[in-house]
Structure 1
Amino acid sequence: MAALLIGGGAAAFAVAWRPAIAAIEPPAPKSFDPALVKRGRDLAALGNCTDCHTVRGGKTFAGGLPVPTPFGTIYSSNITPDADTGIGTWSQAAFRRAMRSGINREGQHLYPTFPYDHFTNVTDEDDDALYAYLMTRPAVHAPTPANQLSFPLDQRFVVAGWKLLFLRRGTYAPDSAQTAEWNRGAYLVEGLAHCGSCHTPRNALGAERAGASFAGGDVDNWNAYAINARSPSPVPWDTAALFSYLRQGWHPDHGVARGPMAEVVSNLSSVDERDVHAIATYMTSVFGAPTPDQMRRGNEVLAKAKAPAVPASQTEVPGASIYAAACATCHETGRPVPYGGVNLGLSTAISGPDPRNVANIVLSGIRPVEGERSPIMPGFANSMTNDQVAAVLNYLRSRFSNQPAWTGVEKTIEEARRTQTVSLQTSPPPHNAPADPTQRDKP
């Protein structure tokens, strides 16, 4: 028994222990090639790094953003080149190890809210470009708050067991049967862009469910829709529509990006459009060719959307009069987005599996992007009661979709109000520029 215990302990130690990597003096920003830094900036935008590592009103990349999980709250780390609280003493080797294996310079396991299960697919060259970019940002002294996890999950060595079960290193390989653009898109989606982190459901241990890639997930009280053949979009996606949506944040046949997705497309608006088109090309293949029934229904929805608008009814149907007074004046003008509201028959949110996204939009509205002609919508959190919002949501579902009625609408609205307050305090600001806009174009 003693031998077994000693052997088991030694095996567990071997699995969990990783050596520290020697600290270095923070490298001088001028030591990095400006072209490499610029490439790293684009890669950081593709990876949405700013929004996860910046709190509202805080310094860019200084970390501290709370990430709620079923196991507790984990705070994003400071990835500025500060020597004491950031990654200023990290070598390139230490940075690569964190990206590939989820282990920090000191040898501690990182929690998989940092999506190294995707970043393991990133090449050494791209890791080095990211390193160059981050090491040339302003250093910010900002200690990361302590994670709020219960025992034993607050012990980082536990993560080693999670990695044994779920971390697969170097899984991406180009497909010789596909085009160079498709392979570029696959590399980005499966790697740095880590789209599956939000759009794939997770198992009881918090790992992406095998066999359910892109089947839809949950993030920050938003539903990340299925972006495969199970997509709830009334109109099937194609490459052109997806490219426009990812680049501009909206498309007339699909609606407006909100919640965490708004942050993603904001970053994508600043990168090489060829990369965005490659992502759209790959994801179109993930959606798959629409079935004849999907094409028929999509054409019917589009035809109905292009028909002259019928004045909103103010019948005794619950929610109808509220919709006619508060919503129809924009959504039934016939003006195209962004000058008018999207035709709600085309809304993926209203055809989606639950009412969270619609509730969030009705309560918080859509803020315009500074300096651009972008969609805008007022929020009704202060002018509608929960019962009124519920009546509107149920009316929208019954009038503008062919899906069954939602359940738990009232509870969803209550949760949306609670999380809205927290989000306003902690989330990065809406933008088409980083929280520190002076840094966008500086190498």
Structure 2
Amino acid sequence: MRRLLYLLTFLATLAVLAGLAIVALNLRGEDKLPDPPVAFNPTPAQVERGRYLALAGNCAGCHTARGGAPYAGGVGIETPFGTIFASNLTPDPNAGIGGWTSAHFWRAMHNGRSKDGRLLYPAFPYPNFTRVTREDSDAIFAYLQSIPPAPTPNLAHNLRFPYDTQPALAVWRALSFKPGTFVADPAKPAEWNRGAYLIDGLGHCIACHGTRNVLGATQEKLGLSGGLIAVENWYAPSLTSKREAGVADWDPKDVAELLKNGRSARGSVMGPMADVVFGSTQHLDEADLRAMGVYLKSLPNTASTAPAATSTTSRRDARVMERGEKIFDQRCAYCHGDKGQGAEGAYPPLAGNRAVLMDSAVNLIQIVRHGGFLPSTGGNPRPYGMPPFRYVLDDSDVAAVLTYVRGSWGNDAPPVTPRDMLRR
């Protein structure tokens, strides 16, 4: 009996210590709010700067619902744990952040905590925004306070238990989040550091282009090594691999052009990245776009240096290839060419295209099913697009034509299997 009592006492003490540690880890790096609040009187230049920074962070992409008031929230963000709804950022005093101070907003950006002290879910990418400077945070707040207030009520999150509880979120944060700041590398030029600040901070590129662990946290040590975008089932390719989307051999101006126009001589964007270009990067100035290109170009190449695997040609079913060729001739060759050569300035080539040759075929499946559309931008206002084929091609048809494309004209990527088609 005494041993049991000792054991229970030990476990209770351990639980208390663990709880105190979790509380301490959730409070680290957090300053007390000024009391009384400091007056905030932004200048027109600060408001304009905030407008630009909000575009750089693509804030409207999550906080503006289709057909809704700008920044009034309501967009549902699907996660493996349930749906999180973006909040109202307009200066409405009840539904929005009209009652916030710049210190409240800074705490949300830097520490992931709301005005009332609640911990925020990392669908709001404060693990990246924590690197944003106080000056830039204040500018964004100044801009948000200048837009028309909208009384759109915030929607309750729809998360499964226990993910809908603050204690569970506190445990996640204790394990996965630490407030930080952007520290410029003195060995690098100012342009490189500016690009790093935008990519790793406001741009929160790792939120899509990073690998996540079982708890949904991005694995910072792996960097921009690519990752599957949960629920949406698009693969954000690695920005550190020449085999995927690395730009180590690009000129920074080509990267800038891609981010500005959605296409360049070296490639084009589709899927979720098309939304990013449309709502964010096309609005950035040339200096920032070039800085991003300089930084991305400098990323180390993490592609495997192992010898290429033996040809997969022998593993392709001749009947599937024949069927795929027939579908390609009927549906695809008119635009992409009978040899997969494409049409310059209009339709991308499929022969030698690294988007075609990636190990994962998930993006190709999405494009064939749902269509492929570049963003409309100032530099490419009427982009060519690809219609969806889900109404005329079934899963076996899609698998066949993609297997053919990935195994023709010198391409030698793995076939698309029925199992691949089930990963929607």
* Mapped partners of 1:136, 1:114: distance in 2: 21
Pick aligned residue for 1:122 from 114, 125, 132: 132
Q: Distance in 2 between matches of 1:24 and 1:57?
A: 39
Query: How much does 1:176 deviate?
Result: 1.2
2:385 corresponds to 1:376: yes
> Can you give the 5+ residue segments of structure 1 that lack an aligned partner in the other structure?
295-313, 417-443
1:56 aligns with 66
Describe the SS at the equivalent of 1:68: strand
Deviations 1:105-138 (A, max 9, x none): 0000001111111111111111011111111122
CA distance in 2, matches of 1:234, 1:208: 19
Deviation at 1:207, TM superposition (A): 1.2
**Equivalent position of 2:366 in the other structure:** 360
- CA distance change for structure 1 residues 211 and 257 in 2, over 3 Å: closer, same or farther? same
Match of 1:262 among 251, 271, 274: 274
> Counterparts of 1:184-199 in structure 2 under 5 Å?
184-199=194-209
> Which residues in structure 2 correspond to 1:47-196 (within 5 Å)?
47-196=57-206
Give the secondary structure class of the aligned counterpart of 2:83: strand
What per-residue deviation string (whole Å, max 9, x for no partner) do you get for residues 73-115 of structure 1? 2222121222112111110000000000000000000011111
Question: Helix, strand or coil for the counterpart of 1:218?
Answer: strand
**Alpha-carbon distance change, 82 to 157 in structure 1, aligned in 2, over 3 angstroms:** farther
Q: Is the 8 A contact 1:23 1:89 kept in 2?
A: no
**Residue 278 (1) aligns with residue 291 (2):** yes
Q: Following the alignment from structure 1 to structure 2, what is the Cα–Cα distance between the partners of residues 211 and 204?
A: 15
Number of residue-to-residue matches in the alignment: 391
Structure 2 stretches of 5 or more lacking a match?
Answer: 1-8, 308-318
- Check 1:9–1:201 CA distance in 2 against 1; reply closer, same or farther (3 A cut): closer
SS, match of residue 74 in structure 1: strand
Taking a change above 3 Å as real, the CA distance of residues 20 and 71 of structure 1, as seen in their structure-2 partners, is farther
1:326 alignment partner in structure 2: 331
CA RMSD in angstroms, aligned pairs only:
3.3
Letter of the structure 1 residue corresponding to residue 408 of structure 2: R
Give the match's secondary structure for 2:407.
helix
Question: What amino acid sits opposite 1:70 in the alignment?
Answer: P
Q: Mark the CA change 1:224 to 1:233 in structure 2 (over 3 Å): closer, same or farther.
A: closer
C-alpha distance in structure 2 between counterparts of 1:292 and 1:11, whole Å: 42
DSSP 3-state at the match of 2:408: helix
Other structure's SS at 2:222 match: coil
Partner Cα separation in structure 2 for residue 169 and residue 206 of structure 1:
18
Between structure 1 and structure 2, the one with the greater Rg is 2
Higher relative contact order, structure no. (Cα contacts within 8 Å, ≥ 6 residues apart): 1
Residue-by-residue CA offset, 1:161-185 (whole Å, 9 max, x unaligned):
2222222322421111111100100
Deviation at residue 343 of structure 1 after TM alignment: 0.7
Alignment of 1:284-299 (within 5 A): 284-288=297-301
TM-score w.r.t. length of structure 1: 0.79
Give the corresponding residue for 1:399. 408
Which deviates further from its counterpart, 204-213 or 88-97? Answer: 204-213
Contact 1:252 1:336 in 2 (8 A): no
Q: How far is the alpha carbon of 1:289 from its aligned partner?
A: 10
Q: Is the 8 A contact 1:234 1:347 kept in 2?
A: no
